[in-house]
């Protein structure tokens, strides 16, 4: 995979020492066209994930064609339970500047 572009300036200090996690390893693989994280999705968000002790963080700068308009957002996700055939996860989106929670979600993935 080609090296990702540098993070937008607003995120660089916060993410400077975190390890980036790559879901897409080869062109055309399972996640390549994902709207959220797919590097091959031309109109997608191209979110990136960084490993933390609590889970993952994602710096998100939504393109102007969607809302909220270019507001820096911090995505958080964490594994809450691991079962034999599935996992439970929780996530949230926060405004980077104010830490105001914009959305929360839980999911079960098989």
Q: What is the predicted pLDDT for the residue at 54? A: 93
pLDDT at 102: 94
pLDDT of residue 1: 52
pLDDT of amino acid 3: 65
71 in a structural domain: yes
What total number of domains does the chain contain? 1
What pTM was estimated for this model as a whole?
Answer: 0.82
- SS3 of the chain: CCCCCCCCHHHHHHHCCCEEECCCCCCCCCCCCCCCCCCCCCCCCCCCEEECCCCEEEEEECCCCCCCCCCEEEEEEEEEEECCCCEEEEEEEEECCCCCEEEEEEEEEC
Would residue 2 count as lying in a domain? Answer: no
- The answer to whether position 1 is within a domain reads no
- Say how many C-beta atoms besides its own lie within 10 A of residue 74's C-beta: 19
Range of the domain at 78: 9-109
**Has residue 40 been placed in a domain?**
yes
Task: Flag whether 50 is in a domain.
Answer: yes
Q: What is the pLDDT of residues 27-80, one digit of tens each?
A: 778 788 889 888 889 899 889 999 999 999 999 988 888 886 788 999 999 999
Residue 3 in domain: no
Q: Is residue 62 part of a domain?
A: yes
Closest CA to 14 of 50, 64, 65, 68: 50
* Contact present, 38 and 24 (Cβ < 8 Å): yes
Q: Which residue, chain included where needed, has tokens 């933390």? A: 52
pLDDT tens string 86-109: 999 999 999 999 999 999 999 999
pLDDT at 68: 67
CA atoms within 13 A on the CB side of 59: 17
Is 96 domain-assigned?
Answer: yes
**Between these two residues, 82 and 22, which has the higher pLDDT value?**
82
């Amino acid at each position: 995979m080609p090296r990702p572009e540098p993070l937008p300036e607003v995120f660089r200090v916060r993410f400077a020492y975190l390890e980036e996690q790559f879901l897409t390893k080869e062109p055309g693989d399972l996640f390549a066209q994902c709207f959220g994280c797919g590097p091959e999705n031309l109109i997608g968000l191209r979110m990136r994930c960084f490993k933390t002790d609590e889970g993952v963080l994602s710096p998100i700068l939504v393109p102007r064609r969607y809302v909220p308009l270019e507001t820096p957002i911090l995505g958080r996700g964490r594994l809450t339970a691991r079962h034999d055939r599935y996992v439970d996860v929780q996530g949230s989106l926060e405004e980077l500047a104010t830490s105001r929670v914009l959305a929360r979600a839980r999911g079960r993935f098989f």
